[in-house]
Amino acid sequence: MNATTRPHGVVVEPGTFVVEHRVAQIDVPDGWALIDICSVGLCGTDYHIFEGKHPFLEYPRVIGHELSGRLAADAGGFTKGDLVVINPYLSCGTCHSCSRGKPNCCTNIEVLGVHRDGGMTPQIAVPISNLIRADGLSPQQAAMVEFLAIGAHAVNRSRIQHGDKVLVTGVGPIGIGVALFARLRGADVSLLDVSQERLSAVQSAFNFPEGSTSVAGAVGAGNGFDVVFDATGHQRAIEAGFAAVAFGGTYVLVSVVKETVTFSDPEFHKREMTLVGSRNALQSDFDWVLSAIKAGDIDTDALCSAQMPLDQLPDRMKALAENRGSLIKVIITLGE
């Protein structure tokens, strides 16, 4: 690599991930800051992009939206070298959603690594308002904050009460985050996943009670759950989950599917069920995650399945995507 180029982790087309050395031409507008990227978490979105399953994406795309980094220069109250989490949701600040304090569902939102090139590269410019101080965390921990914030946001949306019976269906990284933060709110959390191997691994790593591989098994002879979260990403699983919600309960859809989801309206009304969508995360969710990690309430070592430098990823991306059911979080390291 010469002095005028930098490595970029790029999905050129479905099935092809490469490290390209591109000429560094980074525009830093007023109100933005230049960040030296430290760590990048791989998530389901990145695997979907690699597999050609993401509906809102143009190739080639530099991936990476679970990002930690250090300020390359003083900016906006931050000092060069400060460790930050990057909020990857770039909102417009002026639409109806933004004006109502919901930039997570901005109508003009651009997500790093999806709608525009992401942070799998040594440097990136982002709005200063999207930087969150990560004092007291390691760069690897800071790269886990964003995916955990999605779970924290879902829990906040659910309005869980202490002692509520909660079911989390789908125990991938997002589902694990939901379960951890629901438990921090004092809920009695049960897990459901079609993979007994994945269930057993998560139960052991995070000390959850024995889970179930079916809705019927989860509900058993009980009355259902006060709050059910879906983090499966599967239409049929979402539809099956309605039956697990207790009378007067809440169903929170965290995962997103392309298909139309249907349910029985008489059953929905009979239970006076509340149906809630949960999208991305807010500053308050990021703050909760940061405080929980600092307090030792979240075992980030258990969350991290593997770490590797960027130059190893082209040879391993296909295998990681194929075996992601056995992984929680893979961290790509670019700097400290």
Q: How many CA atoms lie within 13 A of 308 on its CB side?
A: 14
Per-residue pLDDT reduced to its tens digit, 288-299: 999 999 999 999
Same domain, 139 and 187: no
Q: What is the mean pLDDT of residues 265-291?
A: 97
Same domain, 251 and 315: no
Enclosing domain of residue 44: 5-143+299-333
| Residue 207: CATH number of its domain | 3.40.50.720
Same domain, 155 and 137: no
Same domain, 9 and 137: yes
Same domain, 136 and 156: no
Q: Is residue 23 pLDDT above 90, yes or no?
A: no
CB atoms within 10 A of CB 325: 13
Over pLDDT 90: what percentage of the chain?
90
Over pLDDT 70: what percentage of the chain?
99
User: Strand locations in the chain, DSSP E?
Assistant: 5-13, 16-23, 32-42, 61-62, 66-71, 83-86, 89-90, 110-111, 123-127, 131-133, 165-169, 188-192, 225-230, 245-253, 274-277, 304-309, 329-333
Q: Is residue 4 pLDDT above 80, yes or no?
A: no
Within a domain: 290: no
The total number of residues written for the chain in this structure: 336
Q: Which amino acid is at 2?
A: N
Q: Which of 76, 176, 180 is nearest to 132 (CA)?
A: 76
| Residue 118: CATH number of its domain | 3.90.180.10
Within a domain: 284: no
Q: What is the mean pLDDT of residues 48-56?
A: 85
Within a domain: 282: no
Q: Is residue 3 pLDDT above 70, yes or no?
A: no
Same domain, 132 and 189: no
Most distant pair of Cα atoms in the chain: their distance: 67
Within a domain: 114: yes
Same domain, 176 and 219: yes
Within a domain: 294: no
Identify whether the C-beta of residue 249 lies closer than 8 Å to the C-beta of residue 241.
Answer: no
Number of domains into which the chain is organized:
2
Would you give the DSSP letter of residue 96?
A: H
Same domain, 126 and 179: no
Q: Reduced to 3 DSSP states, what percent helix, strand and coil does the chain have, rounded to the nearest 5?
A: 35, 30, 40
Instruction: Tell me the whole-structure pTM to 2 decimals.
Output: 0.94
Same domain, 127 and 251: no
Within a domain: 293: no
Give the model's pLDDT for residue 1. 44
Q: Is residue 313 pLDDT above 90, yes or no?
A: yes
Within a domain: 161: yes
Which of these ranges, 22-36, 80-94, 105-119, 259-273, has the smallest mean pLDDT? 22-36
DSSP for 236-291 reads: HHHHHHGGGEEEEEEEEE-S--SSPP---HHHHHHTT-EEEE--S--HHHHHHHHH
Q: Is residue 263 pLDDT above 90, yes or no?
A: yes
Same domain, 57 and 166: no
Q: What is the mean pLDDT of residues 83-101?
A: 96
Q: Which of 51, 45, 43, 55 is nearest to 17 (CA)?
A: 51
Same domain, 15 and 134: yes
Banded pLDDT at 238 (limits 50, 70, 90): very high
Using DSSP's 3-state secondary structure scheme, residue 192 falls into strand
Same domain, 245 and 328: no
Which helix (H) or strand (E) covers residue 221, if one does? none
Within a domain: 283: no
